[in-house]
Structure 1
Amino acid sequence: MGQLVEGVWQDTNTREVNRDGQFVRNASPFRNWVTIDGSPGPTGQGGFKTEAGRYHLYVSYACPWAHRTLLYRSLLGLEDVIDISVVHPVNMENGWVFDGYLGATPDRIGGARFMHEVYTRAEPGYSGKVTVPVLWDRATDGIVNNESADIIRMLGGPAFRGLARTWVDFLPADKLDEIDEINDYVYRTINNGVYRTGFAQSQQAYETGVAEMFEAFGVLDERLRDRRFLHGDQLLESDLRLFTTMIRFEPVYYFHFKCNVRLLSDYPNLRRHTRDILNLNGVRGTVFLDHIVDHYYLAHRRINPYGIIPAGASVDLDGPDWGPDEGQEIAAC
């Protein structure tokens, strides 16, 4: 994957596997917040005031973490407020690049060739991973935040409420504790769990990850037995954070990351939840299966050295299995 070392790109291992062979994700280093008046947010420094057109998102359509931010941008109608640059889905020895792939774009801020140049533009001596999403600030010519969990709370919070075309409260105050509890569980067992399984370098690490993942599938399937969404009838943050992993399960994680204990169809309520969110207004336009499939099977050469894409990865999201039920309400709220 590579990383920056004192501002110089190195095609070296990012060392996210511990001695037991378990994948451990490094923390995101840029944690500033956009606020209404530019005062400091929960972490980082202040100086990032709400302004239409000031902020820019760097994303990959392949990446589930970046996908979260695209969902919020679409569902809240912030497309005219925050523009985007989209990297090529296959990140190899130079990391994420801006190149000619259908749906990808140039770097619309600084004309960078590589995403690591965006990081060194913000911090010339930066050391660490180069990830997406990145929320960029035109005014300070730097990175506000590169943690997806923070970015979606900014987009869905007070800072952008007055700029949203379609306001939806994905984080109601009376549900905050319950949302945080579900988020933590889903992150540990599923969002990051697929990577703990797919990037495991020991049998024990793999078996631990896959067992916890499918146990969580069962828990969530039961939770969804008598409710449309994870917290009831209202689409909330936890649902969207779960969705970006589950929409990738059949085409990539089941095969590529050996998450093949059971099919998603063996969890009818969890699959229905995924399908329901897919068919909400504004969601399908954020799902790019060509980027998703090519990224996982072509970029992860340690796992798939010959870049072979299995036949089962060709999931038809436009077919009847993934379309809305007859008469299904497809409005977001």
Structure 2
Amino acid sequence: MADSAGQGTTSYVEADGFDRDMNYLDDRITRNGEQWPVEPGRYHLVAARACPWASRAIIVRELLGLQDVISLGTPGPTHDARSWTFDLDPGGRDPVLGIERLQEAFFARVPDYPRGITVPAVVDIPSGKVVTNDFPQITQDLFFEWRDHHRDGAPDLWPDDVREEMESVMERVFHEVNNGVYRCGFAGSQRAYDRSYARLFDALDWLEERLADRRYLMGDAITEADVRLFTTLVRFDPVYHGHFKCNRNKLSEMPVLWAYARDLFQTPGFGDTVDFEQIKKHYYVVHQDINPTGIVPAGPDLTGWGTAHGRG
């Protein structure tokens, strides 16, 4: 079974009900790299706006001002068992790579690539080959390896003075929140679902408390940790609350997290990269086992994202 972000495969395990395949093409683009050196204009980031893991890379690219350095390809919100497709582009082809399916770039690198065709993926434009689809490493390298090309005033997404604590926070957010919603949605038994539900809301309560006395997860400035949490929070009410049965309460009913999420949404680089219609269409159409009718719900009302947050 492919999860809703097309991130490899999932399997049911009794303890948690869900296991994410984290095996990726893990080459890296580095400043001193021989095969894949940092080089403006050479690489194409393929990242669907519907996917929370890919959205991280889109946001970080925007925050760091890398738009003119690394081009962006955005597949449509739905995919079949084979691959994400570029159905939003004229002629159904990515205008930079000239391909209809992201699968073509994976096969150019590894013929008959056997794993999931996932986003985000960074493609070497001259060869048409995928360099990496290792989503946590991609955003880290956009910060550390592409620093010479960041815009003036770009945020320090990996500050030295809180690095150790930040990595601990991100680890908990990944397992309990980012992955936690999927663990609920893909639970293979009532027991697995109940355990996953409790873990998710324990973590959300912890975040509600943590953010009560600080503007962002690590203090007064946006970091990578905020990017990683935001992409789940922005999908919570439109998708995870109903579709994945994460329904103890809505995000909009958690006053601190709701204000925090709106604060980020209204920050350039965050909300302006979000497409709620694509997000809803992706989950409700692709997940035929969870939503066999393919009906995409009309709600919820999302106008609240633009309201004052009071976090400044």
Fold-level similarity (TM above 0.5): yes
Q: Which of residues 98, 115, 125 in structure 2 aligns to 1:128?
A: 115
| Distance in 2 of aligned mates of 1:109 and 1:80 | 14
Tell me the residue number matched to 1:163: 149
Deviation at 1:108, TM superposition (A): 3.4
Deviation at 1:327, TM superposition (A): 8.3
| Distance in 2 of aligned mates of 1:156 and 1:243 | 18
Contact 2:187 2:193 in 1 (8 A): yes
| Distance in 2 of aligned mates of 1:153 and 1:95 | 25
Contact 1:32 1:144 in 2 (8 A): yes
Q: Which of residues 298, 301, 320 in structure 1 aligns to 2:285?
A: 298
Contact 1:243 1:274 in 2 (8 A): yes
RMSD over equivalenced CA pairs, Å = 2.3
Q: After superposition, what is the alpha-carbon deviation per residue over 1:248-305, rounded to whole angstroms, capped at 9, x for unaligned?
A: 0010000100000122133211111111000112222210111101001111110000
Contact 1:63 1:292 in 2 (8 A): yes
Contact 2:215 2:311 in 1 (8 A): no
| Distance in 1 of aligned mates of 2:193 and 2:98 | 40
Provide the TM-score with structure 1 as the length reference.
0.86
Tell me the residue number matched to 2:306: 323
Matched AA of 1:25: R
Matched AA of 1:281: P
| Distance in 2 of aligned mates of 1:305 and 1:221 | 34
Contact 1:99 1:106 in 2 (8 A): yes
Greater Cα shift, 108-117 or 63-72: 108-117
- More helix by proportion, 1 or 2? 2
User: How many residues get paired?
Assistant: 307
| Distance in 2 of aligned mates of 1:324 and 1:71 | 21
Tell me the residue number matched to 1:9: none
Deviation at 1:16, TM superposition (A): 2.4
Tell me the residue number matched to 1:48: 36
| Distance in 1 of aligned mates of 2:82 and 2:75 | 12
Q: Which runs of 5+ in 2 are unaligned?
A: none
Is the aligned partner of 1:75 residue 2:63?
yes
Q: Which runs of 5+ in 1 are unaligned?
A: 4-12, 39-45
Q: After superposition, what is the alpha-carbon deviation per residue over 1:166-203, rounded to whole angstroms, capped at 9, x for unaligned?
A: 42210011211111100110000110111111011111
Tell me the residue number matched to 2:72: 84
Deviation at 1:140, TM superposition (A): 5.0
Contact 1:86 1:105 in 2 (8 A): no
| Distance in 1 of aligned mates of 2:110 and 2:81 | 21
Contact 2:44 2:123 in 1 (8 A): yes
Is the aligned partner of 1:34 residue 2:29?
yes
Tell me the residue number matched to 1:43: none
Tell me the residue number matched to 2:208: 221
